[in-house]
Amino acid sequence: MPRRRRRPRPRRPGSAVATWDVVIVGGGSAGLSAALMLGRSRRSVLVVDGGRPRNAPARHMHGVLGRDHTSPLDLLAAGRAELTRYDVAVESGEVADVAGVEADASGPAGPAFEVVLDSGERHLARRLLVATGLRDELPDIAGLADQWGRGVALCPYCEGWEFRDRRIAVIASSAANAHQAQLLRQLSADVVFCSQGAVLTPAARSGLDARGIVVEDRRVVEVFADDGGRLRGIRLEDGGEWEADAVFVAPKAVPHDDLLRRLRARSMRQGGVDHVLVDEDGRTSVRGLYAAGNVVGSRSSVPWAMSSGSLTGAAINADLVDEDIRNAVDARG
C-alpha cells in the first residue's frame, strides 16, 4: 500500500518553508531511534542524513542483540523502512547551516530553528536534534587507513571475537591502551603491545608481562598487507616486523559538532577533548536544542547510540507536550 505521508504545513501562507515538530540531523542509529519515538508520538519529523555512519567501513556489526554479525547498513535500512509507518520523512543530504529564529508572532510560542540543507532547501523546526556522530582520526601510520574496518579495528567487543586465537598487535595512542591489550588477551594468547613511546607504569608493564603480552617499544611505521589486501603484519622503525592478523588502534574521536557549536551550545574540556554538554535527556544548554549518540559521547556501540537516541526522542516529545499545554492554556485566554 502506498505510504500516506503528511507533509508539514507551511508556517505562513505563501511561504515555501515547512515547519516540522522536529528536524533530526543525522540518520544513524541514534537519529533513527529518536525519529521512531517521535513518529510514534505523532510528531512530524524530518531526518536529514548524509549517509556516512561511523561503522560504514565494517562489513559486519557485532554485539547488537538480534543483529549480531549482520551488515550495519542493513540495520539502518531496516530502521528507515520501519519509519515509513509514521509521519517521518527521511531525506538524503547534508545540513549546511542552522540558526535559532524568532518564533512567529502569529503562531504558537516556543523556540524555533531554521535548518538549511546543502541543496539550499530550508526547513523550520520547533525542536532540533543533532545526531551527527563522530570521525575517527587514525594514527598517521602508512597502510593503516587502507585496512580500517577490516584488518585494523578499534573495539575488542565489536571485532575481537573475529580474531580469537589469531596474532593481534595493539598500536597504542597512549598508555591507557594497555587495557585494550588486556581485553584482547582474553581472546588470544598472541598479543603484542606496541607502546609508540607511551610511558607505561610499572604496574601496567608487569600486568602485560604476567599475561604473556609482549611489549614492543620500537615504533611502528607501517601496516602491510598481502597481494590480496589481507593484513599481514606491522613494520618497525628499524625494519623489524611482527606478523599479525589484526591490528587494534585507539583513534582520536572528533565529534561532528559544528552545528551545535554554531548555536552556541556549552561545552567542557574532558580528557583533552572539548565536548558539547548534554544532560541525561540529551538537552544542550540551548533551549530546544538536543544532541544524541556519538556526537556527544564516544562509546563505540550501536546499542548505546540507539538508547541515547531513543531516550532523547522521548524527552523531546515530553518537552513539546509541555509547550502544547502552555499554548493551549494561553489560547483559551
Ligand X SMILES: Cc1cc2nc3c(=O)[nH]c(=O)nc-3n(C[C@H](O)[C@H](O)[C@H](O)COP(=O)(O)OP(=O)(O)OC[C@H]3O[C@@H](n4cnc5c(N)ncnc54)[C@H](O)[C@@H]3O)c2cc1C
The number of angstroms, rounded, from the C-alpha of 14 to the middle of its chain's C-alpha atoms is 38
Query: By CB under 6 A, is residue 131 in contact with ligand X?
Result: yes
* CB nearer to ligand X: pick between 302 and 316: 302
Query: By CB under 6 A, is residue 216 in contact with ligand X?
Result: no
Query: By CB under 6 A, is residue 204 in contact with ligand X?
Result: no
CA distance 107 to 66: 44
Binding residue (CB under 6 A) for ligand X from 82, 91, 94, 114: 94
Q: Which residue has the cell 531554521?
A: 114
The number of beta carbons lying within 10 Å of the beta carbon of residue 56 is 13
Number of residues that bind ligand X (CB under 6 A): 38
Hey, is 104 helix, strand or coil? coil
Query: By CB under 6 A, is residue 30 in contact with ligand X?
Result: yes
* CB nearer to ligand X: pick between 48 and 204: 48
Query: By CB under 6 A, is residue 158 in contact with ligand X?
Result: yes
Binding residue (CB under 6 A) for ligand X from 43, 62, 123, 235: 62
CB 185, min distance to ligand X, A: 20
CB 327, min distance to ligand X, A: 30
- For 237, counting Cβ atoms within 10 Å of its Cβ (0-12 exposed, 13-18 middle, 19+ buried), the class is exposed
Query: By CB under 6 A, is residue 8 in contact with ligand X?
Result: no
Q: In the window 271-300, what residues touch ligand X (CB under 6 A)?
A: 293-294, 300
CB 65, min distance to ligand X, A: 10
From 60-68, 206-214, 240-248, 281-289, give the range in contact with ligand X by CB under 6 A. 60-68
Query: By CB under 6 A, is residue 123 in contact with ligand X?
Result: no
Alpha helices per DSSP H over the chain: 29-39, 72-83, 177-185, 202-210, 258-262, 302-332
Binding residue (CB under 6 A) for ligand X from 83, 154, 187, 320: 154
CA distance 321 to 327: 10
Query: By CB under 6 A, is residue 168 in contact with ligand X?
Result: no
The number of beta carbons lying within 10 Å of the beta carbon of residue 246 is 23
Binding residue (CB under 6 A) for ligand X from 8, 18, 19, 26: 26
Q: Which set of grid coordinates corresponds to residue 238?
A: 628499524
List strands edge to edge, sheet with 231-236: 220-225, 231-236, 241-243
CA distance 184 to 138: 19
Local structure of residue 212 (DSSP, 8 states): T
Determine contact, residues 54/294, Cβ cutoff 8 Å. yes
Query: By CB under 6 A, is residue 63 in contact with ligand X?
Result: yes
Q: Which residues are near ligand X by CB under 6 A?
A: 25-31, 48-55, 57-58, 61-64, 94-95, 131-133, 136, 149, 154, 158, 256, 293-294, 300-303, 305
